[in-house]
Amino acid sequence: MSRRRVDGIKDKLTYKEGTSRQYQDQLRYKALGLCVRCQKPMWKGISKQFCEKHTLMVRESQRKRIGAKKRNKNCKSYVVKKEQKWTK
């Protein structure tokens, strides 16, 4: 059964009541295997909701927000991109 979306578009996913249109879209992209931000294919095996570009973008912005001084060099996004050098 499909519940009505906020904007009236029919959808196979069901949403809790009160889910915003933006979040409904994000859930749909996630279910389709697309990046939540740019709708390009996800970075398989690394991220569950972002493409390669946005995985790195989100990681860096979160580091900035937290004020991190160290890097978790063993996390997947680093291990895969090991060849690239990181400038601070």
Residues found near Zn ion in the complex (CB under 5 A) = 35, 37-38, 51, 54
Q: What are φ and ψ of residue 9, in 5° steps? A: -75, 140
To which residue do tokens 């978790």 refer? 72
Give min distance, CB of 1 to Zn ion, in A. Answer: 31
Per-residue tokens: 3: 């519940």
Give min distance, CB of 64 to Zn ion, in A. Answer: 18
Q: In angstroms, rounded to a whole number, what is the distance separating the alpha carbons of residues 22 and 54?
A: 18
Give min distance, CB of 20 to Zn ion, in A. Answer: 20
Instruction: Report the residue closest to Zn ion, judged by CB.
Output: 35
